[in-house]
Structures are given as C-alpha cells and as structure tokens.
Amino acid sequence: MILIDGKKIAAELREELKKEVSNLKAKYNKVPGLTVILIGDLTPSQIYVRNKEKSANEVGLKSDVVKYPDSVEEKVILDKIQELNNDETVSGILVQLPLPKHIDKKKVIETIVPSKDVDGFHPMNVGNLSSGYESSVPCTPLGCYLLIKKIEPNLSGKKAVLIGRSNLNGKPMAQLLLKENCTVTITHSKTKDLKAECLEADIIVAAVGIPELVKGDWVKKDTIVIDVGINKTDKGIVGDVAFEEVSTNAKALTPVPGGVGPMTIACLLKNTIDCFKRLADK
C-alpha cells in the first residue's frame, strides 16, 4: 500500500510556488498578495488563519490578516471586501468560515470579485468549473485531485465514488474528476447502500465528518482512497476512513493528519498565484 504523504507533496508544491513567486517578482516587480478576513475568536479559525499566513510568507507572498470582533456589522465586512476588490496589491481575498449568524455567507461570497475569489466559492467560479472553463477551484478538492494524480496520472475511465455532496468538497471534486473522464458517483446521507457503491470504486474520496465510516471490506483491491475527514475523538484526530483496516486493501491511502490537510493550504497559495497571473495577463 502506498501511504500518500500529503505533508511531503505539499512541501514540494510550496517549493515550486516559491520559485514561481520569485519569477513573477522579476517579471512584474511585485508579488501576489493574499488578504484573509477573520471574524470572531473561534480557536480553529484562528489556527487555520495563522497557518495560512505562515505558509503564504514562506513562499514569498504578501500576506495580510484583517481581524474583526464577532459583533462586527455585515456592512463593515462588505465594505472591506469592496475596498480589497479595488486594491491592486491584493490578488486573493478569503473570508474565513464559519461566520457569525448575523452575517449572510452568500452575500459575503458574492461580494468578492470572482477574479480574486481564492476559495472558488463565488457562483461565477462554480459555474465556470462545472462548464469546464478556467476558474478558481476550492482548495481542498484541488488538493485531493493533485494527490490522486500523483498516484495515477491517467484517470480516464476510472470509477470514482465521492462520499459527501457539499459545495466545499463533493461537488467540485466531481467536476475535477469528470474533466479527467472518470465515471463519477456522488453519494450522500440518503444513499441506499454506500458499501456497495464503494466496492465499485477505483477512487474513493470521503468528505463526510463521520469518524472511520469507510471500513476495510468496503474497499476493493487497488482502490485509491482519499480521506478528507477531520474528526476529534477520544483517541485523537481521525478521518472518515478506518485507516488500519483500509490500508490492508487499498492501493494508496492518505493518513489523517498529514494527508489532505497540508495540501489544502498549499492549494490556497497556488490559487492566489493563479489569480495574480490571470489579473496580470489582462
């Protein structure tokens, strides 16, 4: 079984991005800039944002974090986004989710200009992705896609089963794999026989949020299994895949932690650089 080392692959990607930033600096005399808006004091959000900022600095991006208290008015956030939309030094804007209840997530996402939407959540980017056009792609599925391609460069004709249909993970993942000519099945909480679906799969991507849902006897030999789940349990952080059991069958498997997580942040940096390049080319 191949243990897919997301930490190592993400570090390699960051090295490539660092070189790219240096080339962009030489060409345009400026570097891509990422601005993160962080609202409130949720600890996981603060940790994510700190890691994003650290990684952005490491590859040479200009990185800013704008912080607001939980009580901030929606209008203040929308005005700030408009200001960043018009700021030429900002290539990518990310509003860290979740948001406080009084702030409308849809409004926030739709206020970010699509060309700076590094999360790929704007309906314009969602539509472009599903139409097969150039777009920002949500960072986690993009990271999963790059991991799968490392193991199997030619995905044409492969059967992919995605567990979970969220806008964040399952749906964009489906678009990426369809583009690679996979036959894609998207499963969810109302799927009748998840085990039977998984047993058909050459590729499984589990993004559910249920600890160790995918068992060893759900996976046929030679399946690539990508575990997106991050679940806090008594025995620590575990994924949506029963790692020990599945590792005896799978062709390749991501660990949790150290699999998809590091790729998510590296892909955020990649998206920021891609936004910069698209804006610079215009």
- Min. distance of Cβ 143 from ligand NAP in angstroms? 7
Write the DSSP string, 62-78: EEEEEEE-TT--HHHHH
Supply the Cα-derived Rg of the chain in whole angstroms. Answer: 19
Q: Clarify whether 119 is annotated catalytic.
A: yes
Q: Clarify whether 52 is annotated catalytic.
A: yes
Name the residue nearer to ligand NAP (CB basis): 183 or 191.
191
- Min. distance of Cβ 210 from ligand NAP in angstroms? 6
- Min. distance of Cβ 196 from ligand NAP in angstroms? 13
Which residue in 119, 202, 227, 274 is the catalytic one?
Answer: 119
Q: Answer yes or no: are the C-beta atoms of 163 and 200 closer than 8 Å.
A: no
Nearest to 275, CA basis, from 17, 98, 37, 48: 17
Q: Answer yes or no: are the C-beta atoms of 146 and 270 closer than 8 Å.
A: no
- Min. distance of Cβ 55 from ligand NAP in angstroms? 13
The CA-atom distances, in angstroms, between 53 and each of 37, 61, 63, 150, 256 are: 11, 9, 6, 26, 22
Which pair of tokens denotes residue 74?
A: 């929606």
Name the residue nearer to ligand NAP (CB basis): 72 or 206.
206
Q: Answer yes or no: are the C-beta atoms of 256 and 239 closer than 8 Å.
A: yes
Which residue in 80, 96, 158, 171 is the catalytic one?
Answer: 96
Q: Clarify whether 105 is annotated catalytic.
A: no
Which residue in 52, 80, 158, 171 is the catalytic one?
Answer: 52
Name the residue nearer to ligand NAP (CB basis): 166 or 272.
166
Name the residue nearer to ligand NAP (CB basis): 113 or 250.
250
- Strand ranges, E, within 40-138: 62-68, 92-95
Contact residues for ligand NAP (CB under 6 A)? Answer: 140, 163-166, 168-170, 187-191, 194, 207-210, 228-231, 260-261, 264
Catalytic residue IDs: 52, 96, 119
